[in-house]
Structure 1
């Protein structure tokens, strides 16, 4: 990889934003070239505000970018991708929630999600390569629905097995597979060093 530019990794958290023991937070601490979408001080459930926050981070980065999104961060990413403002090299999309199906108690209701612009879920092919990491025991989405999302988005589906929602409540924590999948994605999508517009 001597003739390739190492991308900036952009962490896209879910609705709970920055949790110190979350695998995204721990992953960011292990990377040299990384940015994290900051938490919102207001309008925290607004889909448009969260997409705008991601867009602002991306606008401040030159060169190739790889996104690492979890939970609602996946939905932020796919909504942003409907009208992308810059090329993205690829995205790791871990355990997306099914916002079109009622969520367990303690999570936003269907009415709240609709009012804040989250539904419908975008089902169009993403304009960049991606890996969807799916749990077989996610309380926020069935494996079948997540597999359907991966197919619609043109993503490679990675079956994680029994990992719940892949969050601290499910025992994650440091998640070594994140680095493996990220490295796989970066290596598979690397392009020779060139102008940013040449990187897809």
Structure 2
């Protein structure tokens, strides 16, 4: 077998690795996650290096990096449990952990931004916006977790309040008016 024939035979397999099958998509997803993790790690390392003479800034960068990594782990676990249809109690615990970590991360960033604000009204506004977003996150994590499943069953462009539209060939003659 000559090299040209070998390259032609291997070409489509290499090109469709990310497109074909769940195994190929899993590899691409894993590679993308590793690239993103590396980019975030390099960014945080650069921020920690720039803040090396200010212990408060280094503590903020380290805390934010740790909480972000923990949040991503919680969300990955949540996605795994949702696909595996594990017990509802374990799913609820992981949701609670993800929400708690997101509250800690939001409070960390809100405190940092509020410290930079010159007026008390602006500081209170920052904390108010953070509280609203964390409240919406709580609602979405615990009370609206079936919304995605409901939308998938309805189909695109349909609303849960109104019934799905019928095709014209499914309508009775008196309904066509």
TM-score for the superposition, normalised by structure 1: 0.23
Q: Kindly name which structure, 1 or 2, has the bigger radius of gyration based on alpha carbons.
A: 2
Higher relative contact order (CA 8 A, sep 6+): 1
* Greater share of residues in strand: 1
